[in-house]
């Protein structure tokens, strides 16, 4: 189970991480095997809607920056057993 308040779209991720363009999120999705898997996907028309769990994304970003994720993100990732979001 996830807290729906912490679900984020690619646009949300780009804004929170300070990316100028949302396409950078899609680049990481395709090119970085450590990028967290979406927790929800709806395939509609030509573009699927994907949602990620923010603590997973935050932990991934911290590991790319060689920093520890926030304690909250690390705890949530550990509880969920998500090895892709651990540093």
Q: Which residues of the chain have pLDDT under 70?
A: 45, 66-87
Give residue 63's pLDDT.
86
Residue 57 to residue 7: CA distance in whole angstroms = 10
Give residue 44's pLDDT.
75
For residue 16, the tally of other CB atoms under 10 A from its CB is 13
Which H or E run contains 30? Answer: helix 23-31
Domain span at 52: 4-85
Domain count across the chain: 1
């Amino acid at each position: 189970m996830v807290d729906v308040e912490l679900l984020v779209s690619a646009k949300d991720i780009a804004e929170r991480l300070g990316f100028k363009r949302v396409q950078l999120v899609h680049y990481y999705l395709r090119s970085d095997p450590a990028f967290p898997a979406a927790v929800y996907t709806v395939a509609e028309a030509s573009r699927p809607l994907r949602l990620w769990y923010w603590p997973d994304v935050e932990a991934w970003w911290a590991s790319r920056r060689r920093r520890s994720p926030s304690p909250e993100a690390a705890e949530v990732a550990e509880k969920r057993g998500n090895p892709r979001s651990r540093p």
